[in-house]
Amino acid sequence: MPEKLRLGIFKFASCDGCQLSLLNAEEELLELAELVEFAHFPEASSRIDSGPYDLVLIEGSISTPEDLDRIQQIRRQTDTLVTIGACATAGGIQALRNGANHDEFMKLVYPHPEYLQSLATSTPISNHVSVDFELRGCPVDTGQLLQIISDKLHHRKFSVPDHSVCRDCKLQNIVCVSVARGIPCLGPLTQAGCGAICPRFHRGCYGCFGPCHQTNTDGLTDWLIKDGHASAELIPLFLNVNAEAPEFARTGAQLKRQDSAEGESDE
């Protein structure tokens, strides 16, 4: 019998939701356990084995000095490292502190911030070590996560769809919420993976799977503003769980400058 794939799943600054996406597989987990040794998965088991690992899945962002050392240690023990979720691939919602006053944030959140060690920024894993593949989503899709593990087991190239949510709406005959209801939607810019769940329930996509391949953020924001949406209304769409994804970060900053200029002209 061939040796099992040694799998490690590690958590950094995050909510655990992407690890729960794997536990949600339920029936597939039994089959997976025949092929994979869960060597490090504290979310699911108290058994914790040391490396080396054939495949490591990393959830969460780098946000403390301890994280900086730990991610280097994990990388050295890992053959293939895959980051999962918006925190690990783009800094997560906690990256909203980047560029803000970190000390003031600490005082607002914690009664005794002097006892805590925290970096002034929250950054994706790829800023610190080499990453073999990034699986996006908040949380990641269970099917795509299982596909990544299967690809590693069968020595296939990692691959998930990189088209937009907008295309999924067309394929599912979902009426465009922006055109029909005037709701701002990031579907044309966001990578597919959620099944267009928000537009399906008459809500605009808020970009939880991050930018798709070849985004045109300027084109969409220009159209939405001409359609009557204020810059301030669009800022939270871009500066959200994927706020540090370069395409969204640039557009969010641009909208903030535009909103500030509009405020000054009204005075």
**pLDDT tens, per residue, the chain with 267 residues:** 568 999 999 999 999 999 999 999 988 999 999 999 999 999 999 989 998 999 999 999 999 999 999 999 999 999 999 999 999 999 999 998 988 899 998 899 899 999 989 999 999 999 999 999 999 999 999 999 999 999 999 999 998 998 999 999 999 999 999 999 999 999 999 999 999 999 999 999 999 999 998 899 999 999 999 999 999 999 999 999 999 999 999 999 999 999 988 777 766
pLDDT at 26: 85
Going by C-alpha positions, the residue among 109, 165, 131 that lies closest to residue 59 is: 131
pLDDT at 3: 82
* Alpha-carbon gap, residue 258 to 121, rounded angstroms: 24
Strands (E), the chain: 5-11, 36-40, 53-59, 78-84, 133-135
In one letter, which amino acid is 218? D
Where residue 207 falls (left for φ over 0; alpha for ψ -120 to 50; beta otherwise) is left
Strands across the sheet with 133-135, in order?
Answer: 36-40, 5-11, 53-59, 78-84, 133-135
pLDDT at 266: 66
Going by C-alpha positions, the residue among 105, 242, 229, 211 that lies closest to residue 255 is: 229
Which tokens is 100 given? Answer: 């803000």
Neighbours of 174 (CB within 10 A): 18
Where residue 211 falls (left for φ over 0; alpha for ψ -120 to 50; beta otherwise) is beta
The answer to whether the beta carbons of residues 56 and 78 sit under 8 Å apart is yes
Residue 207's φ and ψ, nearest 5 degrees, are 75, 30
Catalogue all structural domains in the chain, each as residue range(s) with its CATH number: 5-154 (3.40.50.700), 165-264 (no CATH)
Torsion of CA 81, 37, 46, 27, to 10 degrees: 100
